[in-house]
Structure 1
Amino acid sequence: MSDKESGKGKDSPGEKGFRIPGLRGAQTTTLFRAVNPELFIKPNKTVMAFGLVTITLSVGYLGYMHAMKENDQQLYEAIDSQGERCMKKKTSRWD
């Protein structure tokens, strides 16, 4: 009995219909793979965690800088009609 007759060869009945899921098993060109590498590269959890922490810290820092700028713009030092310094709240022309 040969391998083909016993069903243990390369083309066994269980593996005939098997395909690799997703785009990894699809017929694509090298240009398509070069332009869209995220579709074909296996995810790296360490790099994803580092990127998530980096983006979170960056957005947090931008928010912090914006909040500090907003706080600084509320009061300013002015000289009144008698020549004394005083702190005034900044107002808009629209108010």
Structure 2
Amino acid sequence: MTNKEVGKGKEIPEKKGFRTPGLSSIQTTSLFRAVNPELFIKPNKPVMAFGLLAITLCVGYLGYMHAMKENDQQLYEAIDSEGEKYTRRKTSKWD
């Protein structure tokens, strides 16, 4: 088979004189490849999109929880002069 038959009209560069980009062209140990798979696996766009969506939703949910906690802190427990506890709404000096 020639290069034209393999690629159906697309020519494949010969191995001689060309190097493949990245770390896949160098010799590494299996341990290095197992510990650093992101260097050897080609990117998967649907998985990246899902991960980005998941991280965005998690950060948004944390922001929502923080905002709800801020809104709930309008009441606090106070003690009057007789020593009794009661719930009081926070007031501002401007009110």
Q: TM tier, shorter chain?
A: 0.5 to 0.7
Let me know the Cα RMSD of the aligned residues: 2.7
Following superposition, which runs of at least 4 residues in structure 1 exceed 4 angstroms of deviation? 77-81
CA positional deviation for 1:65: 0.3
AA aligned to 2:90 is K
Instruction: Number of aligned residue pairs: give it.
Output: 76
CA positional deviation for 1:16: 2.2
Aligned to 2:52, what secondary structure does the other structure show? helix
CA positional deviation for 1:38: 0.5
Question: Larger C-alpha radius of gyration, 1 or 2?
Answer: 1
Are the equivalent residues in 2 in contact too, given 1:75–1:90 (CA < 8 A)? no
Whole-angstrom CA distance in 2 between matches of 1:90 and 1:26: 68
CA positional deviation for 1:75: 2.7
Whole-angstrom CA distance in 1 between matches of 2:87 and 2:30: 69
CA positional deviation for 1:77: 6.8
Q: Is residue 2:57 matched to residue 1:57?
A: yes
Q: Give a deviation string over 1:17-61, Cα, whole Å, max 9, x none.
A: 211111111111111000000100010000000000001001100
Are the equivalent residues in 2 in contact too, given 1:76–1:89 (CA < 8 A)? yes
* TM-score, length basis structure 1: 0.66
Q: Is residue 2:42 matched to residue 1:42?
A: yes
Are the equivalent residues in 2 in contact too, given 1:33–1:40 (CA < 8 A)? yes
* TM-score, length basis structure 2: 0.66
